[in-house]
Structure 1
Amino acid sequence: MTLIQNKQYITIPNALRYKQITMNQISNSLTRQIFFILVILSLVILIFWNLKTFIPSFLGAYTLYILLRKPMSYLTITKKWPKGISAIMLMIISMILFLFPMNAFDTNTW
């Protein structure tokens, strides 16, 4: 196979011809990467499917974190309280303010 460039004949080596033929094929490393991505994606979907009952708990914990972040920093930075004592106090206050009123509306307690 020859090409004309600047009125000179250039021959293309057989290795380049082979590469041109196989450029339409998917390489093994790309196939392996796609396979591993699909395996990881299926495992993530399986984990989330089995943990879907805990999603409200995670959302509630994140909500409490957002609500109690400023009081925690106020107690630990401004008032110089130890982190453990301020965390215990905030947990007790949040339990009194959030959990006990919710339990009062539950009719199936006894």
Structure 2
Amino acid sequence: MLVLAAGGYTLYDRFIKEDSGVAACRAMSEDKQMDGSPKDSDAGDDKLSEAEYREARKIFEDSRHDKIREHGTALMDLLWQVQEMSEDDAGSLAFIGPMGTHVSGLQTACADKGFIIKLNS
């Protein structure tokens, strides 16, 4: 019975339940937040709290798809690092190359799963 339950859970987790990274791709392609909820058009502050950063990063970190996991987590890390810099810090220019790489990589990884997203870095 235990083997059957473990097998059923594995089947559900790997093949039936939507991957968190793919779900994020779907939400972004529909211009929604990564959790699928509508974007708040009245929100003036786009700054992530640490809790929001960790939550967004975990969505990509838990993905079963290597490229979504790789580019999504790296992109969240870069966004967090740049956000935490002061506005007059010229060091943020060093992030332009990696940011472009991971934005493009995530777009490609999502497109490979059937979701076209537009990300502006």
Task: Please tell me the TM-score bracket, short chain as reference.
Answer: under 0.3
TM-score between the two structures when normalised by the length of structure 1: 0.26
Higher helix share: 1
Q: Which has the higher contact order (CA 8 A, sep 6+)?
A: 2
Larger radius of gyration: 1
Question: If the length of structure 2 is used for normalisation, what is the TM-score?
Answer: 0.24
